[in-house]
Structure 1
Amino acid sequence: MIELEEGILSKVITTRPSLSHKGDYGRILLIGGSENYGGAIIMATEGAINAGAGLITVATHSVNLSALHSRDPEAMFIDWRDKNLAKSIQKMDVIVCGPGLGTSDFAKIVLKTLAANISSDQVVVLDANTLDLISQDLSLLPQAKLIFTPHQMEWQRLSQIKIPFQSDTANLVALKNLPNSTDKILVLKSNHTHIYDQSGKIYVNSTGNPGMATGGTGDTLAGIIGGFVAQFGYSMDTVAAAVYLHSLAADEIYRTNYIVRPTAISQKLPQLMKKYSNIK
């Protein structure tokens, strides 16, 4: 087990070359935000934007369009009932699915659309309600490079490992046994988040604070992970850097604030990324 330190940030975050454009920093699609949970997909979107993803599209319920564009005009929109959603999925480097998705029959249709249109060289970040739906039907699991971001109860439902009996060994076995992909990374969220990959490598996050115990923190993390992978590639180090940065930003806020709003975490990211891109 390796404890994450700030060196992971300077290892992953690179200085942007002068000759570059938005297409060089990844195309990402975020899917989620039912009628009652539009805030979740907006917070995930802000995480991806502030983490530096180049082109961002949000597939969500149409009721969320005004709020999305008011807060995040950088993001493009597609109605998740649009027949062109399948084509949008096919064009993306990274898909983040789950924040505010819900568990309705329509949510299952969205997951089936994702699974039917994904390819093995794309990356899918699976978060929140997506994990509950997949735990009920493993055929919904996309065949792609996968990143799971459950909290421990969601992981219990998906892995069938009870929380008192979860261990690093059991978590690695459960991750390897999930079907449909040979490339899988698990981000098991807790006060000290553990990150696992197929090779047996384990990172443990050393940053974080109780002020982060508020709704939307995990949605924001999913967006940051998606933004990092879109720019810096799919790897254990990239995911670990996203996790560490998310908590590091929160720790800076917590020094002078009793609670840490997820949207405040996102606002901190560009400044911190600039700092660590210059440290080599």
Structure 2
Amino acid sequence: MSTITESILPKVIKKRPSDSHKGNYGRILLIGGSENYGGAIIMAAEGALNSGVGLISVATHAVNLDALHARDPEIMFVDWHDRNLVKLIPQMDVIVCGPGLGVGSVAHTIMTILTQSISAKQTLILDANALTFIGQEPELIPQTAGLVVITPHQMEWQRLSQIRIPYQTDSANVDALKRIFPTQNAILVLKSNHTHVYSKSEPAFVNPIGNPGMATGGMGDTLAGIIGGFTAQFGGNLNSVLAAVYIHSLAGDQLAKNNYVVRPTEISALLPKLMRHYAN
């Protein structure tokens, strides 16, 4: 077991050259937000936005449009019923699917489209209800993504891996990751008080920071968005994922110095300042 340290941040976060434009920093599509869970996809999108992605689109239920644009006018909206969604997916570098997705028929159709449309040039991050679908229907597991990152909490991982929480050891988790994704490049971000990160070939990593003030709804959605943001800008690889996990908790720890509860949206808001520091 290796420990994620602060040194991962300057290794991954790079200073931007003066001749930058938005196309240099990745294109990301976030999919989720059913009628009752629009906040989840908005928080995920804010994680991506504040981590610096160049172009961000959100495919969600139309009821979420006003709230999304009131908070974040920088983000493009796509009605998830739009038949052109299938054409949009291949244009993205990274796709985050699951926050607030729900398990209805529309969500199932979206998962099917995603499975059929993803390519080897793309990173796919699956969270929340997207994990429910692939656990129930293995045929929805994407076979062609360049990198698949799954971000379950321990109970979601129990349902997906069939490993009860007390038995979620490092070796058992890696074996399950290989079983669920036998041919894909896959990373497991297993969320807990000290999140563990697993790949199929590298040693397991533990995130040593974080605090109980972060036990707040939307924290995992925000993390999924930050992972999306980092992989879109800095590459679909293990180091980008480790840096995203670490900076999420680092922001939470800084906020907890003066706050009993840490809000996920405040973590997102702090990211640009932290990233500026480590880029220099």
Range class of TM-score, shorter chain: over 0.9
* TM-score, with structure 2 as normaliser: 0.98
Q: Kindly provide the amino acid, as one letter, of the partner of residue 129 in structure 2.
A: N
Aligned counterparts, 1:209-224, within 5 A: 209-224=211-226
Query: Does the CA-based 8 Å contact 1:172-1:200 persist in structure 2?
Result: no
Could you tell me which residue of structure 1 aligns to residue 108 of structure 2? Answer: 108
C-alpha distance in 2 between matches for 1:181 and 1:48: 28
Could you tell me which residue of structure 1 aligns to residue 133 of structure 2? Answer: 133
C-alpha distance in 1 between matches for 2:25 and 2:161: 33
Could you tell me which residue of structure 2 aligns to residue 17 of structure 1? Answer: 17
Q: Kindly provide the amino acid, as one letter, of the partner of residue 126 in structure 2.
A: L
1:93 aligns with 2:93: yes
C-alpha distance in 2 between matches for 1:185 and 1:98: 16
Offset of residue 105 of structure 1: 1.9
**Which runs of at least 4 in structure 1 moved beyond 4 Å after TM superposition?**
none
C-alpha distance in 2 between matches for 1:55 and 1:142: 24
Structure 1's unaligned 5+ residue stretches are none
Query: Does the CA-based 8 Å contact 1:193-1:204 persist in structure 2?
Result: yes
Could you tell me which residue of structure 1 aligns to residue 55 of structure 2? Answer: 55
SS of the residue corresponding to residue 29 of structure 1 reads: strand
* TM-score, with structure 1 as normaliser: 0.98
Could you tell me which residue of structure 2 aligns to residue 268 of structure 1? Answer: 270
SS of the residue corresponding to residue 58 of structure 2 reads: strand
SS of the residue corresponding to residue 5 of structure 1 reads: coil
Question: RMSD over aligned Cα, in angstroms?
Answer: 0.8
SS of the residue corresponding to residue 185 of structure 1 reads: strand
Query: Does the CA-based 8 Å contact 1:141-1:180 persist in structure 2?
Result: no
Aligned counterparts, 1:190-201, within 5 A: 190-201=192-203
Q: Kindly provide the amino acid, as one letter, of the partner of residue 52 in structure 1.
A: G
Could you tell me which residue of structure 2 aligns to residue 42 of structure 1? Answer: 42
Between 1:51-60 and 1:102-111, the stretch displaced more is: 102-111
Aligned counterparts, 1:240-251, within 5 A: 240-251=242-253
Offset of residue 200 of structure 1: 3.4
SS of the residue corresponding to residue 53 of structure 1 reads: coil
Q: Kindly provide the amino acid, as one letter, of the partner of residue 268 in structure 1.
A: L
Identity %: 63
Could you tell me which residue of structure 1 aligns to residue 4 of structure 2? Answer: 4
- Per-residue CA shift, 1:211-241, capped at 9, x if unaligned? 0001000000000000000000011111000
Aligned residues: 278
- Per-residue CA shift, 1:182-216, capped at 9, x if unaligned? 20000000001000111032110011000000100
Structure 2's unaligned 5+ residue stretches are none
> Which of 174, 179, 204 is 2:181 aligned to?
179
Distance 1:160 1:137, change over 3 A: same
C-alpha distance in 1 between matches for 2:15 and 2:272: 12
C-alpha distance in 1 between matches for 2:165 and 2:157: 9
SS of the residue corresponding to residue 266 of structure 1 reads: helix
